Amino acid sequence: MQFFTKKEEQTSSCDTNSGCCTPAPKGKMECPQCKQKAKAVLAKTLDSLLKDETKSSLESFDGFYYCKTPTCSTVYFRDKTILTQDDLSVVVGLKDKASPATLCYCFDYSKEKIYKDIKEKGTTTVLEDIKTKMKTQGCSCETLNPSGGCCLGDVAKAIKEISA
């Protein structure tokens, strides 16, 4: 077992051995709004997280990309179609001013919780708690997390930012 402070552990998403998530669809596309590279998402992620009215306006949920840029209001896009927070039934925690700023949707951990831990105890076990729960309970990132993937990278990044 490696310490999570190792760089590769912090930046990697799920290790494939954990059986946590289905591998994300391959491919990246530039976000039409912020011009940053965005990752492809599974149709079932959109099917699970979009509001009914948005879902009924779309012919299919295939071929969308997820923009994680905090300052960008685009959440999902496909060609000329742009979906924002208003189209989602959950708050996209990684976007600026999100409240709650949820990072782990499977077990409900937020930036607020990490901030509180660090303020009160000087440290947080959120990353370890999530890893333990991933093993004991299993997770459903594809249908709960707007990114459609594992949250560990985002959690590690948030802990680093909040600790700094």
Binding residues vs Zn ion (CB under 5 A): 31, 33-34, 67, 69, 72, 74
78 or 113, CB closer to Zn ion?
78
Query: Shortest Cβ distance from residue 31 to Zn ion (Å)?
Result: 3
Query: Shortest Cβ distance from residue 71 to Zn ion (Å)?
Result: 8
72 or 139, CB closer to Zn ion?
72
47 CB neighbour count, 10 Å cutoff: 13
18 or 81, CB closer to Zn ion?
81
Residues 130, 152 contacting (CB under 8 angstroms): yes
35 or 160, CB closer to Zn ion?
35
Query: Shortest Cβ distance from residue 73 to Zn ion (Å)?
Result: 8
Q: Helix, strand, coil % (nearest 5) of the chain?
A: 40, 15, 45
Nearest Cα residue to 157 out of 135, 131, 126: 126
The residue with tokens 């011009």 is: 35
Whole-angstrom Cα distance, residue 47 to residue 112? 28
Query: Shortest Cβ distance from residue 34 to Zn ion (Å)?
Result: 3
